[in-house]
Amino acid sequence: MTGSPPEVRQKRWYNPLSMNERKKIHRFFLNDPLLGEAARIHGLPDLDIYGQGGPLMTLVEAVISQQLADSAARAIFGRLEAYVGSMLKDPASLSGVPKEKLRELGISGNKADTIITIARMTKSGLLDLDGLAGADDGAVREELIKIRGIGEWTVQMYLIFGLKREDVWPATDLGIRKKLSALLKKRKLMDPDKVEAFGRRWEPYRSYAAIHLWRS
């Protein structure tokens, strides 16, 4: 996985799966020739690896996680969380953290700018993260992609871990490409177009397939 996730449990802004739904999806992967073993070992992944602390925290950590190994991203987010504490959930407080302080915590200048922009837009109402919970994937993407520093990968992480969307397939993710190429015994790294096409076999549960691959 070329990025990492947020933590801390708050109110749920999504509907958790019923036990029957979980069993149905788990059976889907148990019967899959490629991911069946991972499903037997790990069970059905939860989509709240990320995003247990609310929409704002989820988006902030997704930004921090861009192009970083999970361990590095978690360490940086942990420092941010330790510095601001409960204020991290409050856009008014987060927007007041100086860029220089974010840099000291290990956040790059561009990412710091993006985080401050997100906080200020949320504070002003220009960005309604709670409202996006009811929007379709395309509408969420259209809203978030406008923000400088947020690209396709970050939107996909927010859809999977922030909004718990079950059928998101991050075909450009380096970790997914490496794991799938290895699983299929490819000599060369698969390009995103081929990964995208191959992932259709796991519709409508591609988010779970991505987590299985990251964990394998």
Q: What is the pLDDT of residues 148-206, one digit of tens each?
A: 999 999 999 999 988 999 999 999 999 999 999 999 999 999 999 999 999 999 999 99
Q: What is the mean pLDDT of the chain?
A: 89
Contact 100/40 with Cβ under 8 angstroms? no
Give residue limits of the domains in the chain: 1-165
Q: Which two tokens stand for residue 37?
A: 């073993």
Q: Which fold has domain 1-165?
A: Endonuclease III; domain 1 (1.10.340)
Which of 113, 173, 191, 193 is the catalytic position? Answer: 173
Show the tokens assigned to 192: 């995103």
Reported pTM: 0.88
Residue 193 among the catalytic residues: no
Residue 2 has pLDDT above 80, yes or no: no
Q: How does pLDDT run across 32-48, given as a tens digit for each residue?
A: 999 999 999 999 988 86
What pLDDT digit, counting tens, does each position of 52-102 carry? 567 888 899 999 999 998 899 999 999 998 888 766 667 878 888 999 999
Using alpha carbons only, give the angle 207, 67, 201 rounded to the nearest 5 degrees: 25
